[in-house]
């Protein structure tokens, strides 16, 4: 049984006052829903304020990235213990905006060390994978190959017990912040492929337990159909998570099955 996860990634947005308001709206939206989990990933500066608003609500708090190092001379990075100290229990790792040249341009080989540091500290990592438009346009074999490479790199050296603690986010780069959403069929096809990969990398029981969430222009108008797909276990939401009404409707999705 995989509990659906609706995660809001606020990226580099929000004053403290705005963060408090958005968090309070999410608390109100999630109230009474015991069949789903909600998570908020505010910028680092707002973590402690948001933690106060979320206290007792059951909503999870996450960082948007985390350092591979325990602590020390790493200007601009944030250590796993700092995220925990601020109230976070989860962290997004390998978001395409961090990986992409011309945006942040972080090398792919940073992803796995960050992920292992998060696991070591007891944080729940959300590993983002996804292909670019150029890769998708080259066809399914190229898309599969790209995703396999990112999954192999991400899960490198992880034991079965560690791998069980991850959430995977499939975020086609061409659908992030562009208004273009993968169709429910396109997303389901990739989610099923990722689950099959996990079964081959570990075993079927692990593959059927790991949550695979979709991200890429998720909106009130497409959340229900996405959540009705058998291998889509939630959503990682960017733009619409900054709008109280839209995120409320997304949290309150109604799947057809
Ligand atoms: C994201 O931030 O991971 C994301 C999918 O953004 P958006 O929903 O705006 O496409």
Residue found under tokens 């606020």: 10
- As a whole number, mean pLDDT of residues 82-94 equals 98
Domain count for the chain, please give it.
Answer: 1
The answer to whether residue 120 sits within a structural domain is: yes
The answer to whether residue 257 sits within a structural domain is: no
Cβ atoms of 252 and 29 within 8 Å: the answer is yes
* Token reading at 114: 């960050």
Looking at residue 54, its pLDDT comes to 98
Which residue minimizes the CA distance to atom 2 of ligand 1?
238
User: pLDDT band for position 51 (50/70/90)?
Assistant: very high
pTM for the full predicted model: 0.97
Alpha helices in 103-170 (DSSP H): 111-120, 133-137, 140-155, 160-164
Separation CA 172–CA 129 (nearest Å):
8
Query: What pairs with residue 127 in β-bridges?
Result: 93, 168
Q: Which residue has the higher pLDDT, 116 or 175?
A: 116
Which residue minimizes the CA distance to atom 8 of ligand 1?
238
User: pLDDT band for position 256 (50/70/90)?
Assistant: confident
- Domain that residue 240 falls in: 5-251
Q: 4-22 pLDDT, tens per residue?
A: 999 999 999 999 999 999 9
Residue found under tokens 């996804």: 130
Q: Which residue has the higher pLDDT, 81 or 101?
A: 81
The ligand 1 atom at the shortest distance from the C-alpha of residue 9 is 2
Distance (Å) from CA 28 to ligand 1 centroid: 22
The answer to whether residue 256 sits within a structural domain is: no
Is the shortest distance between the CB of 9 and ligand 1 below 6 Å?
A: yes
* Token reading at 138: 């080259």
Distance (Å) from CA 219 to ligand 1 centroid: 10
| Three-class DSSP category at 179 | coil
Is the shortest distance between the CB of 207 and ligand 1 below 6 Å?
A: no
Domain of 20: which CATH number? 3.20.20.70
Q: Is the pLDDT of residue 116 over 80?
A: yes
The ligand 1 atom at the shortest distance from the C-alpha of residue 241 is 8
Q: Is the pLDDT of residue 257 over 90?
A: no
Of 81, 84, 82, the C-alpha closest to 61 is 84
* Token reading at 184: 């429910």
The answer to whether residue 221 sits within a structural domain is: yes
Q: 149-203 pLDDT, tens per residue?
A: 999 999 999 999 999 999 999 999 988 878 777 899 999 999 999 999 999 999 9
Separation CA 114–CA 119 (nearest Å):
9
The best mutation among 93, 131, 216 to test binding of ligand 1, ranked by most ligand atoms within 8 Å of the C-beta, falls on 216
Output the CA torsion sign for 222, 223, 229, 231. Answer: positive
The answer to whether residue 187 sits within a structural domain is: yes
**Percentage of the chain modeled with pLDDT above 70:** 100
* Token reading at 5: 């996860």
Looking at residue 176, its pLDDT comes to 84
Distance (Å) from CA 227 to ligand 1 centroid: 16
Q: Is the pLDDT of residue 39 over 80?
A: yes
CA angle 195, 156, 126 (to 5 degrees): 60
Distance (Å) from CA 31 to ligand 1 centroid: 24
Residues identified as active-site: 95, 171
User: pLDDT band for position 37 (50/70/90)?
Assistant: very high
The answer to whether residue 209 sits within a structural domain is: yes
Cβ atoms of 240 and 253 within 8 Å: the answer is no
Separation CA 37–CA 30 (nearest Å):
8
């Amino acid at each position: 049984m995989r509990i659906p996860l609706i995660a809001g990634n606020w990226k580099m947005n929000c004053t403290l006052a705005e963060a408090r308001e958005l968090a309070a709206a999410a608390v109100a939206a999630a109230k009474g829903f015991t069949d789903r989990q909600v998570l908020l990933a505010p910028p680092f500066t707002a973590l402690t304020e948001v933690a106060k608003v979320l206290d007792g609500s059951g909503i999870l708090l996450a960082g948007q990235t985390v350092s591979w190092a325990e602590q020390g001379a790493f200007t601009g990075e944030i250590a796993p213990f700092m995220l925990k100290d601020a109230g976070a229990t989860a962290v997004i790792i390998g978001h395409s905006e961090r990986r992409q040249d011309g945006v942040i341009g972080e090398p792919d080989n940073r992803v796995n060390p960050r992920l292992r540091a998060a696991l070591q500290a007891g944080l729940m990592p959300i590993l983002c994978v996804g292909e670019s438009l150029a890769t998708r346009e080259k066809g399914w074999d190229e898309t599969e190959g790209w995703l396999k490479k990112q999954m192999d790199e991400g899960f490198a050296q992880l034991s079965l017990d560690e791998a069980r603690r991850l959430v995977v986010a499939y975020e086609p780069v061409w659908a992030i912040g562009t208004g273009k959403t993968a169709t429910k069929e396109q997303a389901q096809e990739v989610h099923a492929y990722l689950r099959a990969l996990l079964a081959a990398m570990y075993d079927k029981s692990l593959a059927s337990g790991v949550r695979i969430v979709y991200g890429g222009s998720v909106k009130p108008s497409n959340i229900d159909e996405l959540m009705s797909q058998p291998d889509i276990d939630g959503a990682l939401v960017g733009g619409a998570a900054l709008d109280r009404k839209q995120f409320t409707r997304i949290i309150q999705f109604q799947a057809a099955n």
